[in-house]
Amino acid sequence: MSIRVPLSTRTSGGALCDRALVMLRVLTQFGDYAPLSFALDTGAEFSSIPINKALENHIRFDRSRPGMVGGLLGRTQRYRGSMHVLIAGRTHVWPCHFLQTPVDVGEDAMPVLGRAVFREDYDFCMDDEFVTLTRRSWCRRWWRRIAGSLSRPFVTCREADDPL
């Protein structure tokens, strides 16, 4: 099962920076699902939801597991938890950090879909128009092994520390 979502057009500093935004349904404290737009971020290890967005959407999180999280722009308070997400009728439970966002960020802070566990459940690919999410299954894994062995003579593989 694959789902294709058009990329969101965005310009930053004069450069075209299309991004993958996906609408996910996240379980609320009332037992229903709130639609929340997430940026698919291959550089993020964990998914995260700003605390103000979680509160707005009645998404429950546990404040008993505080900590700090850091990134490119500094450090902030986080609460480690999980989120229950509904995709195409299937419920997933993924780790999630609930983040205290700086006051000056305001509404620009948006939820981020990180790699942890999400990559175990879905493959994703971005081209010039779409992000495609494909549910991983035993059949897909088997097919990828076969296709990988057939394409090996035509593909150059490098280690992460080897120059391209």
Query: Which sequence spans correspond to the domains of the chain?
Result: 2-136
CA distance 122 to 80: 22
Q: How confident is the model at residue 85 (pLDDT cuts 50, 70, 90)?
A: very high
31 backbone dihedrals φ, ψ, rounded to 5°: 90, 0
Half-sphere exposure of 149 (CA within 13 A, CB side): 5
Residue found by looking up tokens 């305001």 in the block: 106
Average pLDDT over residues 131-136: 88
Longest CA–CA span in the chain (Å) reads: 54
Q: Is the pLDDT of residue 153 over 90?
A: no
DSSP-derived 3-state class of residue 106? helix
Place of tokens 């929340």: 36
* SS3 category, 110: coil
**pTM of this structure:** 0.83
Using an 8 Å Cβ cutoff, are 47 and 94 in contact? Answer: yes
Reported as a pLDDT band with limits 50, 70 and 90, residue 109 is: confident
pLDDT band (50, 70, 90) for residue 163: confident
Residue 21 has pLDDT above 80, yes or no: yes
Tokens standing for residue 26: 């996240």
CB 131 within 8 Å of CB 7: yes
Q: What CA–CA distance (Å, rounded) separates 69 from 102?
A: 13
Domain 2-136, what fold?
Cathepsin D, subunit A; domain 1 (2.40.70)
